[in-house]
A = this chain, B = another copy of it.
Amino acid sequence: MSAAEPRNGDREDLEGARSGQRRRPNGDAGAGAKTRAKTAADKRRAILDAGVRVFARQGFHACRVADIADEAGVAYGLVYHYFASKDEILDTLFLERWAIMLETIRQVDAQEIPAREKLAAIASFIIDSYTHNPDLMKVIIVEVTRAANSFGQTHLAQIRQAFTLISEIVTKAQADGEFKSQITAEFAAIAFYGAIEQVLTGWIFGLLPRGEEHYEQAKRLVVETICGGLDAPGGGS
């Protein structure tokens, strides 16, 4: 359950001895008016948001740190005040978003609804994530998966976590008789996620038509395709 939490501690050694932010001893920031800490946090966020746009537009490798600073409307050096490296910006974007996804999956799984509805909720969440912020999803799919190589084990552990959570949903449904057992839960999770990601990839590269009705249709079809093959033959509907 809380397996992801200890991993946060892994990153504390990222603070170098010389550069970078010191953790404020008492992080108590005033509420209401724009405090200094508040505007500082705004700048950090502005850099992250700019990173999303620039990475999506030019690609992680092709863009320069100066492009991110320009897009955010801050000085070049400020990027290095908030982040240790260009990589760390991408890391942060991925980990932020992925944590939200993992949390959503956990919440969905906690509900007392059929597995089919759980998968539908997960598919909806991911597709809504795309419609809400296509650039961010593009960056995560195109730049992070690609770099999972070079990036640390952290990313792979996070990705594995998502597959584990989904396959647990399938395993339980198989035990309940809602899903058949010929297909391993692990494989079902891979196929389910793979189908969704390919749909997003299709939209990202213009291989599939975009638009509200297509997004809604995709949500239905992912579940219909995957569950049509997972539903127990003798079962209800």
Is there contact, CB below 8 Å, between B183 and A225?
Answer: yes
Would you call A47 an interface residue if the criterion is a C-beta within 8 Å of the partner chain's C-beta atoms? Answer: no
Would you call A76 an interface residue if the criterion is a C-beta within 8 Å of the partner chain's C-beta atoms? Answer: no
Which of A160, A163, A198 has the most chain B CB within a 10 Å cutoff? A198
Contact digits for A148-172, partner B, Cβ 8 Å, 1 yes 0 no? 1110000010011001000000000
Partner of A207, one of B163, B202, B207: B163
With A195-B195, A222-B191, A225-B230 known to touch, is A146 a contact of B156 (CB < 8 Å)?
A: no
Minimum distance in angstroms from A195 CB to a CB of chain B? 4
Would you call A184 an interface residue if the criterion is a C-beta within 8 Å of the partner chain's C-beta atoms? Answer: yes
With A146-B146, A146-B147 known to touch, is A190 a contact of B205 (CB < 8 Å)?
A: no
Interface segment out of the listed A13-21, A104-112, A137-145: A137-145
Would you call A71 an interface residue if the criterion is a C-beta within 8 Å of the partner chain's C-beta atoms? Answer: no
Is there contact, CB below 8 Å, between A218 and B187?
Answer: yes
Categorize the interface residue count of chain A.
35 or more
Would you call A8 an interface residue if the criterion is a C-beta within 8 Å of the partner chain's C-beta atoms? Answer: no
Cα A226 to Cα B187 in complex, Å, equals 12
Is there contact, CB below 8 Å, between B149 and A59?
Answer: yes
Contact digits for A111-147, partner B, Cβ 8 Å, 1 yes 0 no? 0000000000000000000000000000001110111
Residues from chain B with Cβ under 8 Å of A229 in the complex:
224-230
Cα A88 to Cα B153 in complex, Å, equals 31
Cα A142 to Cα B229 in complex, Å, equals 28
Is there contact, CB below 8 Å, between B148 and A221?
Answer: no
With A59-B149, A187-B218, A225-B226 known to touch, is A198 a contact of B207 (CB < 8 Å)?
A: no
26 contacts between A and B (CB under 8 A): A59-B147, A59-B149, A143-B146, A146-B146, A156-B207, A159-B205, A159-B207, A160-B207, A163-B207, A183-B224, A187-B217, A187-B218, A188-B225, A190-B195, A190-B198, A190-B199, A191-B191, A191-B222, A193-B198, A194-B194, A194-B196, A194-B197, A195-B195, A225-B226, A225-B229, A228-B229
